[in-house]
Amino acid sequence: MPPYYPVGKLPAEDLDRILRRYASGADPRLLVGPGIGRDAAVISFGPGVLVSKTDPITFATEEIGWYAVNINANDVAAMGATPRWFLSTILLPEDKTDAELVDRIFSGLADACRELGITLCGGHTEITHGLDRPLLIGQMLGETTADGYVSGDGARLGDRILLTKGIAIEATALIAMEKSDEVRTRFSDEFLETCRRYLRQPGLSVVREARLAMETGGVRAMHDPTEGGLASGLREIAVASGVGMLIEEDRIPLLPEPEALCAFYGLDPLGVIASGALLIVVEADRAKPLAVRLGDAGIPVAEIGSVQPPEFGIRIRSKGEITDLPAFDRDEIGKVFEAT
């Protein structure tokens, strides 16, 4: 029997091999193409650049439209661009789709676009055989100046690594929405509602902090750590940039609700889906001014590590001991959804 891949992203080494073999486009206007740690493509377009991203929503069913806009906008913003236009392919399950479901999805799309100043400009919607839940594949287009973008491969020796808000924000909201009955067996209704509100508070969007980071200056790279969590996001930047990292575990912000849910389900918070946080690699002398700027804007931020020589490896200090940063073959949240 062939060794099938687990649920989640393809293993980084396999994806890298595939991209090198099949995605070597020769168009000179493609400034940033597909690669590990790269959140979106950057294409030269007139006096500026077009930034393009596509991402599916496969776990969430509640608020899937709102969710899709924000997840795709984050990746465009993490490239230093302003998200402008959104397209969606919406695949709906046979014998489970009614007008109310369709209206709810499009209402969520419209709300998120309005909140972020984005135009819903096209897409495709159909009833699809063989699905048990809606799937939504989004594409976000954004723009910035010719020299106004960053990529995930820009980290340099001595840079500092900042993290906004905290880890496992997205996982907390997902579990509360999709596994509410299980959560209620251990926690109060008040706790559950707090977790459900994580979509908006602290919130999934990192568009505002990405914009403030670019305005402050000194940004080498940014990354929206989604599947595989913080550990995978850090590893993707390090591999893409050809550098090592030292991460300080005691500086990584973990809010009480994510900590409690991860403990309940036996999940490692470092490897659980983490949209809502933004990784920012910044020049050492710009780290403090950026942290102050974000703090003044009401955005929590922590300096969680530094960029090291490549031979140092990608490592984490925990309780005084330095070990390799854990690697996750799949997102930890998969354990939650396999349990049913």
The rounded distance, in Å, linking the Cα atoms of 276 and 130 is 31
Cβ proximity of 282 and 218 under 8 Å: yes
The rounded distance, in Å, linking the Cα atoms of 234 and 222 is 10
User: Of 47, 6, 42, which Cα lies nearest the Cα of 27?
Assistant: 42
221-256 pLDDT per residue, tens:
999 998 899 999 999 999 999 999 999 999 999 999
Please compute Rg for the chain using Cα positions: 19
User: Of 249, 260, 227, which Cα lies nearest the Cα of 163?
Assistant: 249
Q: Give the residue extent of every domain in the chain.
A: 12-145, 160-338
Q: Which CATH number fits domain 160-338: 3.90.650.10, 3.40.640.10, 3.40.50.1390, 2.60.200.30?
A: 3.90.650.10
Say how many Å lie between the first and final Cα of the chain, rounded.
25
Q: What is the mean pLDDT of the segment spanning 99-125?
A: 97
Supply 276's token pair: 């809502």
pTM more than 0.85: yes
Percentage, residues of the chain above pLDDT 90? 82
Which of the two residues, 62 and 197, has the higher pLDDT score? Answer: 197
185-217 pLDDT per residue, tens:
999 999 999 999 999 999 999 999 999 999 999
CATH number for region 12-145: 3.30.1330.10
Cβ proximity of 12 and 236 under 8 Å: yes
Helical packing angle, 12-22 and 229-241, nearest 10°: 40
State residue 282's pLDDT score.
98
Please say if the pLDDT value at position 123 is more than 60: yes
Strand partners, 2: none
Supply 221's token pair: 């790279």
Residues of 201-217 as b/e, b for ≥16 C-beta within 10 angstroms?
A: ebbbbbbbbbebbbebe
C-alpha pair distances (Å), 54 with each of 34, 121, 138 = 12, 14, 5
The rounded distance, in Å, linking the Cα atoms of 82 and 216 is 16
